[in-house]
Structure 1
Amino acid sequence: MTTPQLPDLARPDAGTTLISEWMVDTPDRQDRAGRALLGEWSELSARFRPEAFLRLSCFAGVDGRVLLCVAQWTSDDAHLAFVREHRAEMVGRIDREIPGIRRPGLVRYRLAHTVVPDDACDDTTDVIVARAESEPASDAARWAEATADRLRTTPPPGMGVAHVFVSADRARGLLYAPVTEANDVAGARLYRLLGTVAGPSAGVDGAGPSGAESVF
């Protein structure tokens, strides 16, 4: 099975980027929940072929306790219409298999800045994610701009192309960056890509129609 590739978070057809965490508590549950999530989305994408669904990427927190889900859709409205019809059944199947998963909630993000270091290397499946939570709108935007400026001036060693987001409600900021070595970005958490599901059209970074890639 092919090794999955990190998503292109700057792809122009992605009108929204949806990021959420699942609290799973143990490495075994993390592994099982990741398999179940990727399997469910692969099946849904193949069966219903939602053209607005571009890609789902599932990451494992290196502490073995968390799954990070990064989904790209053409619009929030298209995503909401699809999940209203299919999410409850999908999540129900996963929860019957792995009871007790906690889901704090999904945040809808818009790309604000992309930073390309001179020696950027994206040949990795590791990423760091740092957040500015529950900030006023003006502070979240300023955080995003300041974070991007700092990375342009002094990018951490081993950082790939970094993306800085502001939430659709303008209340949160988020940094996502591939890394090839440990770094000291304040407040960042390290995740490793488990697998991806490409949408029915696959697009510029897909694996083919309804393509699924996994390291399991």
Structure 2
Amino acid sequence: MTTLQLPDLARADAGTTLISEWIVDTPDRQDRASRALLREWDELSARFRPEAFLRLSCFASADGRVLLSVAQWTSDDAHLAFVREHRAEMVGRIDREIPGIRRPGLVRYRLAHTVVPDGAGDDTTDLIAVARAEGEPASHAARWAEDTADRLRAAPPPGMGTAHVFVSEDGARGLLYAPVAQANAVAGARPHRLLGAVAGPGAGADGGRPAGRGSAF
């Protein structure tokens, strides 16, 4: 089994963190879609070398229905410029290969809090717990993020690594990303396992590796 390195979501050069879900419905389609996504980004990164692209990490939900993508870029403007030029072709190729993928949309996040439990170590896991607060006034998302970080600092779940709490750019959503040793470590959070990652030209010290594959559930 190959265990891939989780992304560093607190890296200083990541001006934006972009998180999206693809609803694929079955484990087989989840696997095929993840391979296609990683292949496309690996090829685009090698061909066009966007210096603002740091890393794309692809995670599988435990129920086999969803792919979660976590992308790090130096800025929103750089990301938007690149996808305006290349996204339609890339998505078209993937949809011809795996028809019927549903894409609720991409959310642009900013890091609000980082929680480092005593003895935290993320190197031995490829499993994360993800929880969200959505569809609320901006003040609620910010409070949710602060309350979530305070709760994890006061009583970190056993086996939790360095956790990150985000608030969306529009202030309407909150998200918790926490490396964990077991799927049910964080109450109310959904487990996802790292399937692979593409390191961009700007990856630098992040240590990401191109288009690797992790273990499945």
TM-score range (shorter-chain normalised) is over 0.9
Could you give the per-residue CA deviations for residues 135-169 of structure 1, whole angstroms, max 9, x where no partner exists? 11111111100100000000111110000000000
Per the alignment, residue 129 of structure 1 pairs with: 130
Q: Secondary structure at the match of 2:78?
A: helix
User: What RMSD in Å do the two structures reach over aligned CA positions?
Assistant: 1.4
Per the alignment, residue 88 of structure 1 pairs with: 88
Per the alignment, residue 213 of structure 1 pairs with: 212
* Superposed structure 1 runs of 4+ greater than 4 Å apart: none
Name the count of aligned residue pairs.
214
Per the alignment, residue 21 of structure 1 pairs with: 21
- 2: distance between equivalents of 1:172 and 1:60? 21
Per the alignment, residue 54 of structure 2 pairs with: 54
Q: Secondary structure at the match of 1:25?
A: coil
AA aligned opposite 1:67:
L
Contact 1:114 1:163 survives alignment (8 Å):
yes
Q: Which runs of 5+ in 2 are unaligned?
A: none
Over 3 Å counting, the alpha-carbon distance change for 1:76 and 1:34 in structure 2 is: same
AA aligned opposite 1:75:
S
Could you give the per-residue CA deviations for residues 45-68 of structure 1, whole angstroms, max 9, x where no partner exists? 000000000000000001011000
Map 1:6-17; keep pairs closer than 5 Å.
6-17=6-17
Contact 1:121 1:180 survives alignment (8 Å):
no
- 2: distance between equivalents of 1:207 and 1:143? 30
- 1: distance between equivalents of 2:213 and 2:131? 25
What's the CA shift for 1:33?
Answer: 0.1
- 1: distance between equivalents of 2:147 and 2:21? 25
What's the CA shift for 1:39?
Answer: 0.1
- 2: distance between equivalents of 1:22 and 1:187? 21
State TM-score, norm by structure 2. Answer: 0.95
State TM-score, norm by structure 1. Answer: 0.95
Q: Which runs of 5+ in 1 are unaligned?
A: none
Per the alignment, residue 146 of structure 2 pairs with: 145
What's the CA shift for 1:184?
Answer: 5.2
Give the fraction of aligned pairs with identical amino acids, expressed as a percent. 82
Map 1:136-175; keep pairs closer than 5 Å.
136-175=137-176
AA aligned opposite 1:119:
G
- 1: distance between equivalents of 2:26 and 2:182? 24
Over 3 Å counting, the alpha-carbon distance change for 1:185 and 1:215 in structure 2 is: closer
